C-alpha cells in the first residue's frame, strides 16, 4: 500500500500516454475530441487495484467521510449536464474519467496516516523531478521543447518526462510546497536532504519557464511558512491570516473577470498570452446558457463542434485546451448553478475543514491547505480542477482527502 502511494500518483501525473512524445505540429481540430484507449484502460486497471486494496485494509466508514455533500452535489450536477452537452459521448467519457480519478486518489489517501500520504506524494514528485533532470541531460531533444514545436514561445523550456512544460511546472510546485512544510515542521528528516530537494524543485521550476506555477507555488509556500510560525507563537491566529488570504484571492479573481470584459487596456487581446481575448469571448458565450452552461467538458477540445468554433475569424479558439481561468470554465460549461456548487465544494468546504482541524499529525492541515491554495491560485490563469487527470485536480484530491480525515477541534479548544 505504501508502494501504491508513490507509484499511482506518479503514473497519474505522467498521464500515461503523453510523456516524452514529440511535439511537432498542431493537432487536427477534428481530432481534439478523440479518446485514448490506452489511458482509459490503464486508469481503469489502477482504479480497480486501488479499490481492491482499500476493501482489504480500509473500513467502509472511512470511505463515507471522503465526500462532502457539496462535492457529491457538484458531481451530480456535472453528470446531469452531460445530458444537454454538445457532444454527449465525449462529455460522458470525460465525466467518467474525472470520477474514476477522484475515487482513485481519495481512496489512496486512506492508505496511511496523513503524514505518510503526504510524504509519499512528495517522494513521488521528487523522483519525477530527478528523472526529468536526467532526461534533460541525456535526451534533451525529448525533455526540452525544440525548434519546430507547435508553440514557438516555449522553445527552450524544459518539460522533463512530461508532455508540456506547464504540466511539468504544475507537478513541481506541489512538491516544493510539501518540502517547505517539512522544513517548517519540528523534527523529522535531515534538513540537508530537504534543502537539496527544495533546490532541485526550484531549479526545475525556473527551467520549465512555467511562470504561473512558479509564482503560485511560492505564494502557497509563503503562506505555509508564515501560518505555521503564527500557530507556534499564538494558537488560533492563523484563522485570521487564512481569512485575509482567501479575501485577497477572491478579490483577485473578481478583478481579473472585470478586466476581461472592460475596455481598459490592462487586458488587451495579446496580454497573458491572449487570455484577455479568450475571457471576453467566454463571458459573451456564457450569456447564451447562463444557468445550465453547455454541458460538462463541452466547450473545449471538441473540434468544430465546439461553441467556440462559430467565429471563423478566431479559429485558434476551437483548439484551446481550456479557458485559462477555472471560474470561467465552470461558468461556461456547467453554468451559474454549477459554478455555485463548485465554489461550495472546492473552496468553502476545504476552508472549513482547515479551520476546524487540529494541529495533529505535524500540522498536516497546513500542507493540505497549501496544496489547495496552489490549485486555487493556479486556477486564476490555468485550469485543472474537476478535469480528468490534470495535475491540479490530482493534487487537490490528495490534499482534500487528507484534510477530511484530520481530527477536528473539540468545543473549548
Residue 17's pLDDT is 56
- pLDDT at site 396: 97
- Looking up cell 480525515, which residue turns up? 405
Taking Cα atoms as reference points, which of 352, 350, 358 lies closest to residue 409? 358
pLDDT tens, position by position, for the chain (413 residues)? 778 888 888 888 887 656 666 655 445 444 566 667 777 888 899 999 999 988 887 777 777 778 889 999 999 999 999 999 988 999 999 999 999 999 999 999 998 889 999 999 999 999 999 999 999 999 998 899 988 777 778 889 999 999 889 999 999 999 999 999 999 887 655 788 999 999 999 999 999 999 889 988 998 898 888 777 777 665 555 555 566 666 666 666 665 555 555 544 444 555 556 677 788 888 888 889 999 999 999 988 887 788 887 764 556 666 677 888 899 999 999 999 999 999 999 999 998 898 888 877 778 999 999 999 999 989 988 888 999 899 999 999 999 999 998 888 654 44
What's residue 270's pLDDT? Answer: 52
Q: Which domain holds residue 208?
A: 2-22+34-405
- Residue labelled with grid coordinates 519540528: 186
pTM of the model: 0.90
Q: How far apart are CA 357 and CA 236, in angstroms?
A: 11
Cell of 152: 514557438
Residue 365 lies in a domain: yes
Contact residues for 332 (Cβ-Cβ < 8 A; gap 6+): 282, 285, 286, 293, 294, 299, 323
Cα–Cα distance list, 40 to 15, 229, 321, 393 (Å): 10, 44, 19, 17
Contact 256, 377 (CB under 8 A): no
Q: Is residue 123 part of a domain?
A: yes
Identify the pLDDT of residue 266.
Answer: 46
Sequence-distant (6+) residues with CB within 8 A of 353 are 365, 400, 403, 404, 406
Sign of CA dihedral 155, 157, 158, 161: negative
- Does 44 map to a domain? yes
Measured between its terminal Cα atoms, the distance across the chain in Å is 34
Q: For residue 102, is it within any domain?
A: yes
pLDDT of residue 413: 43
**Residues making up the chain, counted from first to last:** 413
In a domain? residue 270 = yes
91 within some domain: yes
Residue 302 falls inside a structural domain: yes
Residue 413 placed within a domain:
no
Instruction: Decide if 14 contacts 162 (C-beta within 8 A).
Output: yes
Residue 409: other Cβ atoms inside 10 A? 12
How far apart CA 328 and CA 292 sit, in angstroms, is 13
For 45, counting Cβ atoms within 10 Å of its Cβ (0-12 exposed, 13-18 middle, 19+ buried), the class is exposed
The count of domains in the chain is: 1
Cα-based distances in Å from 391 to 13, 104, 194, 383, 386: 6, 14, 23, 10, 10
Amino acid at each position: 500500500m505504501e508502494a501504491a502511494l508513490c507509484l499511482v500518483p506518479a503514473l497519474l501525473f505522467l498521464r500515461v500516454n503523453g510523456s516524452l512524445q514529440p511535439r511537432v505540429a498542431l493537432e487536427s481540430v477534428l481530432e481534439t475530441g478523440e479518446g485514448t484507449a490506452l489511458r482509459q484502460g490503464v486508469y481503469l486497471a489502477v482504479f480497480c487495484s486501488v479499490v481492491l486494496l482499500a476493501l482489504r485494509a480500509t473500513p467502509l466508514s472511512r470511505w463515507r467521510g471522503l465526500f462532502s455533500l457539496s462535492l457529491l452535489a457538484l458531481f451530480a450536477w456535472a453528470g446531469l449536464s452531460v445530458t444537454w452537452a454538445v457532444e454527449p459521448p465525449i462529455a460522458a467519457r470525460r465525466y467518467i474519467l474525472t470520477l474514476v480519478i477522484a475515487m482513485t486518489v481519495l481512496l489512496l489517501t486512506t492508505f496511511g496516516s496523513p503524514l505518510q500520504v503526504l510524504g509519499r506524494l512528495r517522494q513521488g514528485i521528487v523522483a519525477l523531478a530527478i528523472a526529468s533532470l536526467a532526461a534533460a541531460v541525456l535526451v534533451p531533444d525529448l525533455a526540452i521543447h525544440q525548434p519546430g514545436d507547435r508553440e514557438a514561445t516555449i522553445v527552450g523550456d524544459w518539460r522533463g518526462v512530461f508532455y508540456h512544460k506547464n504540466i511539468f511546472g504544475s507537478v513541481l510546485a506541489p512538491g516544493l510546497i510539501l518540502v517547505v512544510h517539512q522544513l517548517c515542521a519540528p523534527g523529522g528528516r535531515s534538513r540537508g536532504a530537504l534543502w537539496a530537494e527544495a533546490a532541485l524543485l526550484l531549479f526545475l521550476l525556473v527551467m520549465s519557464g512555467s511562470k504561473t506555477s512558479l509564482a503560485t507555488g511560492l505564494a502557497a509556500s509563503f503562506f505555509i511558512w508564515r501560518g505555521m510560525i503564527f500557530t507556534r507563537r499564538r494558537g488560533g491566529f492563523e484563522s485570521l491570516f487564512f481569512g485575509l488570504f482567501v479575501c485577497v484571492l477572491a478579490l483577485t479573481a473578481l478583478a481579473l473577470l472585470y478586466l476581461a470584459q472592460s475596455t481598459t487596456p490592462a487586458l488587451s487581446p495579446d496580454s497573458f498570452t491572449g487570455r484577455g481575448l479568450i475571457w471576453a469571448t467566454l463571458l459573451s458565450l456564457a450569456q447564451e446558457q447562463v444557468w445550465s452552461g453547455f454541458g460538462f467538458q463541452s466547450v473545449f477540445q471538441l473540434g468544430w463542434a465546439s461553441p467556440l468554433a462559430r467565429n471563423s475569424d478566431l479559429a485558434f479558439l476551437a483548439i484551446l485546451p481550456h479557458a485559462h481561468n477555472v471560474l470561467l470554465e465552470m461558468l461556461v460549461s456547467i453554468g451559474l448553478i454549477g459554478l455555485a456548487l463548485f465554489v461550495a465544494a472546492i473552496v468553502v468546504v476545504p476552508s472549513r475543514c482547515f479551520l476546524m482541524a487540529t494541529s495533529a499529525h505535524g500540522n498536516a492541515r497546513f500542507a493540505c491547505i497549501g496544496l489547495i491554495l496552489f490549485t486555487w491560485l493556479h486556477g486564476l490563469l490555468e485550469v485543472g480542477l474537476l478535469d480528468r487527470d490534470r495535475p491540479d485536480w490530482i493534487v487537490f484530491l490528495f490534499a482534500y482527502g487528507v484534510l477530511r480525515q484530520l481530527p477536528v477541534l473539540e468545543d473549548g479548544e
